[in-house]
A and B are shown apart, each in its own frame.
Chain A
């Protein structure tokens, strides 16, 4: 094993979880996050020789991850736009939506999380996955800590309000 390989193995061990968690927070889908994390590490392996240490290693890894996620999001948007243009796919999606509707009215914290604006959803997901570290979330998302705190505060408030609304609805149904 040469030095590039051993460096890569160390990097993989240190960042595997972080890259997967950031990908998951940005994409909101485990399978896609795994696929993207794989792509990220492939890019890292190819570019390892070019890393000059101008930025910190974690900044470099997070930048590659965010770029890969943004590419994946663009691909998803394009695929979704193409699906919308196909009347057959639209009809099938609407049928599935109607079948799913009664189950989704149940209390589901992850569904509430999915309804939040993208920035709040990403920050909150990472916050709970990264041992509630504002610093880690800010580094991963590449935004100032103050911004992260604002997103998390707003996201938390929205979740609590959603939960209290659901409680009131539940009481009015049972009472």
Chain B
């Protein structure tokens, strides 16, 4: 077998059958070129493993992620209440507008009533959409 073929075996050495591993070891003991090749690979792998592992430190990431999620959670928890408040306020405006219309039926009161109805509808639509989104979690 040519050295190039032995080098292929060196590259796959983790997966070799015991017989093949013995043959490879035998060849390496007698071939300087392949021995140098195997040594170069082993050195590269040791350096890379050491450098890559040193570069990553996951222990600092966990607490940071937990903080981000806590922030998101508090925002998501507060939003329905905010929309509720807006909805009730809009309903209040609508009721007041109705009262005003009932007492005095001039044209600008109709505009006010329209604006109030629109605000109420938007707020309730927002509330319904929010509920739908948080229930289905379609973020992907």
Contact = CB atoms under 8 A, between A and B. Distances in A.
B65 A50 contact: no
A38 B48 contact: no
Contact of B40 (A30, A45, A160): A160
A158 B101 CA distance: 83
Interface in B32-91: 36-37, 40-41, 43-45, 47-49, 51-53, 55-56, 58, 61-62, 64-66, 68-69, 72-73
Nearest to A129: B52
B138 to A, nearest CB: 7
B136 to A, nearest CB: 7
Given A12-B65, A37-B65, A129-B52, A48 B37 contact: no
Contacts of B17: none
Interface stretch (A17-25, A73-81, A83-91, A93-101): A17-25
Interface in A1-54: 5, 8-9, 12-13, 16-17, 20-21, 24, 30, 33-34, 37-38, 41-43, 45-50
19 contacts: A12-B65, A12-B66, A34-B61, A38-B65, A41-B65, A42-B68, A42-B69, A42-B72, A43-B140, A45-B73, A46-B72, A47-B137, A47-B139, A110-B52, A128-B52, A128-B53, A157-B11, A164-B36, A167-B40
Interface of A: 5, 8-9, 12-13, 16-17, 20-21, 24, 30, 33-34, 37-38, 41-43, 45-50, 64, 67, 109-110, 113, 124-125, 128-129, 132, 149, 153, 156-157, 159-160, 163-164, 167
Interface of B: 7-8, 11-12, 14-15, 36-37, 40-41, 43-45, 47-49, 51-53, 55-56, 58, 61-62, 64-66, 68-69, 72-73, 135-140
Given A5-B73, A47-B139, A153-B11, 20 more contacts: A8-B69, A13-B62, A16-B61, A16-B65, A24-B55, A33-B56, A37-B61, A41-B68, A45-B72, A46-B137, A50-B136, A110-B48, A128-B48, A129-B56, A149-B12, A153-B8, A156-B45, A160-B40, A163-B43, A163-B44
